[in-house]
Amino acid sequence: MHKILSTKQMLLNAQKENYAVPAFNIHNLETLQVVVEIASKMHSPLIIAATPSTVTYANCDYLIAMAQVAARQTDIPIALHLDHHENVATIKADIDAGFRSAMIDASHESFEKNIEIVKEVVAYAHKYDTTVEAELGKLIGQEDDLIVNEADSAYTNPDAAKLFVEATGIDSLAIAIGTAHGLYKGTPKLDFDRLQQIRSKVDIPLVLHGASDVPDELVQKAITMGICKVNVATDLKIPFSGAIKEFFLANPSANDPRRYMTPGKDAMAKVVEHKIKICGSANRY
C-alpha cells in the first residue's frame, strides 16, 4: 500500500464481505502507534480518526507525516480520517494537506442546510480522491466541544436517509439508531428495525458512531445488518489514562514519558485487539 488511502475501497470490501472496519480515534504519536501496530499484527484494515481538537492539538502536518510513516511500514490499508469536522474551510485545507477521508458533521442543521453543506464538501473532496462521510440524525453525548442532549437527539429517518444520500453523493452515512458518544447511563438499546429499514433504502456503507461502551453482541448484530465502519474513542482513552494513573501511584517520583506512556499503550492495545475481533476485520489483508 505505502500511502494514505481513502476509505472507499476498504468500506466497500467490508460491505461486500459483511464485516466492519474499525475507526480508532487517536490523539498523539503513542496512540497512533498502538492502533497501527495491533492492526498490522492482526492484518486488519485501519481507519485512524482525528477530531477537530486532535488536529489542533497534534497539528495536521504532524498527523499526516506520522500516518505516512505508518503506511510505509505496513502492508495493511490505512486511511487517515477527519472525524466530526464542522468547518468546511478547515476540511478543505486538511484535504489539501493530505487527508483522504473526511466526515462533515452538519447533523445539527436543518435537513436542507445539511444537504447544502455536505454537497459543498463532496464536490471538493471528490476532486482529490477523498471520501466523504456525513451524519443524519444526532447522537446524544459529547464529541469534542459539540454537546447534544437527549431533548435534541433524533434517530435517522430511513426515507430521509435515502433522499439525503441521493442529494449529496456521499460515500458513507453515519446513522443514529440509539448509540451515544461517551459512556452510557444505562444499557444502550439499538433500533435494529430502523437499521434494517435504512439498509433497505440506502446502498452506500453505513457507519456506527458512539460504539464505545456498547455491548459486543449489539455491535456485532449491527454489523451483520449492514454497519461496515465502527467508531471507537472513549473505550481507548479510559484504559490508556487509567494505566498511566496506576503507574504514577506505584511510581510517584517517575518522570520519564517513555516509562509512563508504555503501560498506557499496553492497556490500549488490548482494547484495540478486542475491537478488531468484534468488527471481524482481522485477516482481511
Binding residues: 84, 105, 135, 181-182, 209-212, 231-234
Q: Confirm if 234 and 182 have CB atoms less than 8 A apart.
A: yes
Q: Confirm if 46 and 1 have CB atoms less than 8 A apart.
A: no
Active site residue 83: yes
Return the amino acid letter for 34. Answer: V
Distance separating alpha carbons of residues 32 and 28, to the nearest angstrom: 6
Distance separating alpha carbons of residues 229 and 209, to the nearest angstrom: 8
Binding-site sequence positions for dihydroxyacetone phosphate: 182, 210-212, 231-234
Angle between helices 192-201 and 216-224 (to 10 degrees): 30
Distance separating alpha carbons of residues 4 and 70, to the nearest angstrom: 9
List the catalytic residue out of 83, 94, 171, 235: 83
Residues 55, 58, 60, 66: is their CA dihedral positive or negative?
A: negative
Grid coordinates of 249: 501511584
Grid coordinates of 111: 435537513
Give the largest Cα separation in the chain, rounded.
59
Active site residues: 83
